[in-house]
Structure 1
Amino acid sequence: MTRLLRHGLNEARRALWLARRYWLESLLGLGFLLSLFGGLVFAVLKASGQSLDSGRADGLIAGFALWLFASGAAHSGTKEIVEETRQRTLEQLNLAPLSLGSLLGVRLVLGQAAGLLMLVLCLVLVGLLTHGRVQASPEVLGLALLGCPALAGLGYALAGFSLLVKRGELLMVAAYPVVIALVSLPAYPVSELAALPYALAAAAARQAALGTAMAPAIWGWVALNGVAYLGLGLLVWRRCLRQARQLGVLGHL
């Protein structure tokens, strides 16, 4: 546990150093996310002919914020694999004291923590735009956080597949519509759609942002969904990693 914590602190320092070293790219990335969020909101309002003050699009706008969070969390594993492959350092990471899967897990946790801060920022912005109708309440953030293991499972699975393909960027692009669908599904109240990864967490968080009180059972189903898909994602990761080593394609360009 001490070694894992030490590696986590080292990875956090590494991420902060890279953000400071490439501060322009960091600012551009933040600006891109905020402009993407604003552009999507504006496009939907224009296409539907609704106004922001009507309140009809509040749930959809909150869904955009959740999509940005879920998309970043689900794709962060693949992004790490692609980046390490590009820098020709993926094979060297196998010699680290921490296993490649554990190291990826540390980076996934740090990525989700940064994404959670971004989610808070987006929800605060939504609250200002909707005059307080949508709020970044502890219930919303709690549901988003409780669903993180399911997103980590998706991240592990996508990272595993990226070990076997030559262009991991294409895999990330192909997965974007999947994440959009998962976040936008009407999985609340609990239905068969709630069996999909993160669908119930996102749907419940959208409702909570509009002021709906959540039953205790919802929290249990979200937690169960997260544990199940985290385990499945780890299984896919290990099988893909084993196959990549057998085929000799680990870190290939």
Structure 2
Amino acid sequence: MNLSTHFENELRRNGYLFRRYWIESIFLLGLVITLFGGFVFAVLSFNESSWSSGAVDRLIVGFALWLFANGAVNGAMGDVMEETEQRTLEQICISPLPLEKLLLIRASVKMLTSLLFLLIALTIVDKLTAARLQINFSVMLALALGALPSLLGIGYALAGLLLVVKRGAVVQIVILPAIIGLVSLPAFPVNVFAALPYSLGAAAARAASGGARIDAGVYVTVGLNSLLYFVFGLLVFRWFEKRARRDGVLGHL
């Protein structure tokens, strides 16, 4: 069974879950829209000039990128936590695909779903505000997708850690403020913060929403950064997986 077949099966699985739990899915989309709308009108209640200054746009883009980053990091990590709690991790380890590839497929499907939800929410908020937001969706999407592999790499590293350290809730608590920090850092124009995962992509997307011009060098830097952290995370995951198999703790609580 090849990768495309596994990817198709995961799409079908997620489609089934969406139909089976459609109320929860609609509620989640409504929650995201409500949070976006709440941020918009909270900013406006303090300063009406926020429209012209681009503060609302940067706020909305930053929040969207944080949600996207949180979902990406929790992709592989969340799957390992869930499968371990359900005591099914050892079973999926005997699938035709290696565990690392299966986690990547699942994380990719989750990211496509999250991206779709975010684009729908941003579009609705834009309509509700009479198109007064000036978010460049194509630039934001390009930078978010370009920075995505770095987050998947971090998720891989954390997933590997959870194969050995069985304190998933503690890891999630620690990683949450770290993601907020990565999204918030002023890494654009390119500076020392750009060496961190996702920071440059997020900062450039926020700057673009304020009217800044993003040149080709920024996209290249984001891509190289993503590749580096993805490879790093994959190597960390492999090391922890080998150790978990050696110690006989794979899938143990």
Q: Structure 2 length normalisation: TM-score? A: 0.90
Residue aligning to 1:4: 3
Change (3 A) 1:238 1:130: farther
Q: Is the 8 A contact 1:50 1:57 kept in 2?
A: no
Residue aligning to 1:134: 134
Identity between Structure 1 and Structure 2 (%): 46
Q: Is the 8 A contact 1:161 1:240 kept in 2?
A: yes
Distance apart, 1:75 and its partner CA: 1.0
Q: Is the 8 A contact 1:77 1:156 kept in 2?
A: yes
Residue aligning to 1:93: 92
Q: Structure 1 length normalisation: TM-score? A: 0.90
Deviation string 1:189-222 (CA, Å, 9 cap, x unpaired) is 0000000000001111112223322111011101
Residue aligning to 2:207: 207
Q: Is the 8 A contact 2:51 2:133 kept in 1?
A: no
The alignment partner of 2:214 has SS state of: coil
Deviation string 1:49-108 (CA, Å, 9 cap, x unpaired) is 334545434312221111111111111211111111122211001110001000001111
Deviation string 1:123-153 (CA, Å, 9 cap, x unpaired) is 3245343843332431221111111111111
Please show how residues 140-179 of structure 1 align to structure 2 within 5 Å. Answer: 140-179=140-179
Deviation string 1:10-53 (CA, Å, 9 cap, x unpaired) is 1111111122222233233333333444455566666xx33454
CA distance in 2, matches of 1:40, 1:133: 13
Q: Is the 8 A contact 1:244 1:250 kept in 2?
A: yes
Identify the range of structure 1 (207-216 vs 75-84) with the bigger mean alpha-carbon deviation.
207-216
CA distance in 2, matches of 1:244, 1:13: 31
For structure 1, the 5+ residue unaligned runs are none
CA distance in 2, matches of 1:44, 1:163: 42
CA distance in 1, matches of 2:133, 2:31: 25
Matched, 1:79 2:57: no
Change (3 A) 1:169 1:214: same
Q: Is the 8 A contact 1:183 1:198 kept in 2?
A: yes
Change (3 A) 1:204 1:74: same
